[in-house]
């Protein structure tokens, strides 16, 4: 039996979270087309007859960061690269031009002295244009190269097979969860629900607002055997963003709340009452994460 930790590293929006979600078989990390969706490393547990894998999905590495939140996100990813891992997946998006940001990520990956796999993602988008020739030189550096579609799970099975081959054999003395709940993730209930709500904000709002918000869950209460009450707040940095998040007649917040409630109900198999509000706190990036 194999047992080990696999670290995923790459630029924002290369598809790391989509890959982990589809391998695990359910949502453990939120996804959206916008950068900064993943803000802290998320650990997820996968098991089959070959053994166990602990995936660590890291936030994407940003190029030049000036704001407090982006600096914290980059630092958390750098900390994760120094943790005890067995295999590194360096994921790239062939539909995006290779630039300084990509070079920065590659430099970080090169410093990790562990077996590495180059994963070129989004093969399902070949018709949208490709910069694949810009990544061809990496084939000489990485002994294992896989071209996949994380969203369609194309070529994911052979990638998993190679990961298991590279992982160490598990002995009786190795530490591993006793009777783990599958899938096991390193998020408590409040954090997971807050992430689901934040995902809906990223999906429903424009380009600027998502990076000005976070979500805090204040209360989860079982009102009955079938109904769970959740009180949550969207925090934003300015009153003008608050107005946009609420929308005319409360339309936007109702849409986001409805989408989040359905996801939470699906994950918990319970009826959910979601009490969602918006508050202004210009200092939240300094104290959270």
Taking residue 204's Cβ as centre, other Cβ atoms within 10 Å add up to 17
Encoded tokens for 17: 């979270």
Mean pLDDT (whole number) for 246-273 = 91
Residue 221, classed as helix, strand or coil, is strand
More confident residue, 176 or 129: 129
pLDDT over 90 (residue 63): no
- Residue range(s) occupied by CATH 3.40.50.300 in the chain: 2-166
CA torsion through residues 26, 164, 109, 187, sign: positive
Q: Is the predicted pLDDT of residue 74 greater than 80, yes or no?
A: no
Q: Is the dihedral of CA 116, 79, 60, 57 positive or negative?
A: positive
Query: Are the C-beta atoms of residues 215 and 203 closer than 8 Å to each other?
Result: no
Q: Tell me how far apart the alpha carbons of residues 257 and 264 are, in angstroms, rounded to a whole number.
A: 10
> Per the confidence metrics, is the pTM higher than 0.75?
no
Domain with CATH 3.30.300.20 in the chain: 189-287
Architecture of the domain defined by 2-166:
3-Layer(aba) Sandwich (3.40)
Nearest-angstrom CA–CA distance, 102 and 39: 18
DSSP 8-state secondary structure symbol assigned to residue 240: H
The 10s digit of each residue's pLDDT in 116-162 is 999 999 999 877 789 999 999 999 999 999 999 999 999 999 999 99
How far is CA 173 from each of CA 89, 136, 176, rounded to the nearest angstrom? Answer: 27, 42, 9
Q: Could you tell me which CATH number the domain at 189-287 has?
A: 3.30.300.20
């Amino acid at each position: 039996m194999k047992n080990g930790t696999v670290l995923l590293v790459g630029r924002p929006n290369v598809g790391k979270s989509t890959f982990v979600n589809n391998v695990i078989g359910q949502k453990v990390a939120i996804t959206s087309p916008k950068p900064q969706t993943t803000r802290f490393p998320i650990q997820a547990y996968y098991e089959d007859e070959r053994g166990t894998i602990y995936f660590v999905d890291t936030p994407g590495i940003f190029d030049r960061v000036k704001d407090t939140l982006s600096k914290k996100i980059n630092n958390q990813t750098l900390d994760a690269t120094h943790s005890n891992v067995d295999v590194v997946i360096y994921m790239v998006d062939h539909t995006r031009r290779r630039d300084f940001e990509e070079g920065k990520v590659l430099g970080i990956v090169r410093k990790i002295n562990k077996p590495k796999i180059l994963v070129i993602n989004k093969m399902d988008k070949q018709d949208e244009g490709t910069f694949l020739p810009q990544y061809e030189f990496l084939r000489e550096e990485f002994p294992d190269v896989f071209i996949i579609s994380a969203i369609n799970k194309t070529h994911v099975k052979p990638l998993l097979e190679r990961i298991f081959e590279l992982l160490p054999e598990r002995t009786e003395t190795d530490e591993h969860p006793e009777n783990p709940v599958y899938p096991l993730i390193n998020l408590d209930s409040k954090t997971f629900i807050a992430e689901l709500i934040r995902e809906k904000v990223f999906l429903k709002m424009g380009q600027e607002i998502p990076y000005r918000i976070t979500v805090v869950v204040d209360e989860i209460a079982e009102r009955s055997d079938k109904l769970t009450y959740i009180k949550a707040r969207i925090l934003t940095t300015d009153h003008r963003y608050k107005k946009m998040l609420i929308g005319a007649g409360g339309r936007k917040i109702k849409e986001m709340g409805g989408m989040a409630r359905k996801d939470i109900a699906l994950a918990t198999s319970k009826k959910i009452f979601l009490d969602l509000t918006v508050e202004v706190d210009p200092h939240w990036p300094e104290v959270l994460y």
